[in-house]
Chain A
Amino acid sequence: MMLDEDQALIKKTLRGDRRAFEELMRKYEKKIYSFVVRMVRNEDTAVDLTQDFFFKIFTVLDKYNFEYKFSTWAYRICYNLVIDHIRKNQAAVDSLDDESVTSRDLLESGNVSREDGFKALALSETRDYVWRVVDQIPLKFRELILLRYIQDLKYEEIAEITALPVGTVKNRIFKAKEILKQEMEKDGMLI
């Protein structure tokens, strides 16, 4: 069986190669950490959860099935870990997911710099603005946007990870984009 880069690293890790697991962590740490930060919206918690994720991965690595893609398997573990954490801390998440918190609130709070609208902003500023709006949309939409764009997953993979039907995943992502567009229109970010 042909092994991809991740699987070769897993094989080495299972033989006790510390560097191989370190390489695997380095490869995924930024995406995993970014995903977790945007899910829980707290950097300290995100550090703990990302570390917990790597511990978890290490302890169940011998159960990994080499017929499947490592990233999908790992993201599912990460997703479950984060969702468990969020469920245990439901009150905090609910208050943060208040739909009345709009990107306008963010702009007024000074978290996003805005000049004369969408087209007047530099690309990096536009990116920052859009991703800050993403951070404010309700969790059920946000999680799918994060899996789709941060983890770069296909609809089918997201459906597998979240245990949702593919149609629901698509509809929610479409809805999330509609919300983003509406927010941008409200903020006058679109010309």
Chain B
Amino acid sequence: MACLSDATLIAYNEGGLGAIAAAQARDHLLLCPDCRRAAATFRALDLILAKPVLYEPPPRLVPQVTERLFPAAARVTSIAAAIAASFVFLVSWIYIYFDFSSSSLVQALRLTANGTSGWLADVIRGITAIYNGAQAVAKALGALLRIVLPAPLGTIVALLALSSLLAVTLFRPWLRKARAKRS
């Protein structure tokens, strides 16, 4: 009987021959050392191929994808900082262009607090304390702004810049995600 072809040997190793063909191949292999050696080579090759040499991907591969697909939400601190900055500048601006020296609202609140007790008085004291703090900061910044931004146009530009900063801080994660999806 002629020697078995490579294709037959490979199929035999994989159990891919029909019953009769497999029996014939087995009989031939018993008698033919060359075919036995070739079959053994294909078996060895199969074993080697079954354990592939895999490449190690660079460590940055997955984090880069993750970062682009799921950009981190804007950090609470940066949002708070942007809101606080905007608030202070807004109060400063109001302080420059409106006269709050009488602080009638605060006076009224103080009087109310004096006449009441319990949690309501505490709340009113808290509000007036915050107002006083903001007023102090605003007063200082207002003085600075008067020097730096004497014209209303300058103040508007400053406010627009702050609003943009706030918007970018808040919406950056969504903008980056949308960009990643588009690309």
Contact = CB atoms under 8 A, between A and B. Distances in A.
Interface of A: 18, 21-22, 25-26, 29-31, 33-34, 37-38, 43, 46-47, 50-51, 54-55, 58-59, 126-128, 130-131, 134, 145, 148-150, 170-171, 174-175, 177-178, 180-181, 184, 190
Interface string B1-38: 00000110011000010000000000000000000001
B22 to A, nearest CB: 16
Interface of B: 6-7, 10-11, 16, 38, 41-42, 45-46, 48-58, 61-62, 64-66, 68-70, 180-181, 183
Contacts of A58: 65, 69
A127 B65 contact: no
A37 B66 contact: no
> Per DSSP, are chain B's interface residues mostly helix, strand or loop, or mixed?
helix
Given A18-B66, A33-B61, A178 B53 contact: no
A47 to B, nearest CB: 6
A145 B53 CA distance: 13
Contacts of B50: 149
Given A30-B54, A181-B38, 4 more contacts: A22-B66, A46-B55, A55-B68, A59-B181
A180 B64 CA distance: 37
A170 B11 CA distance: 9
B54 A150 contact: yes
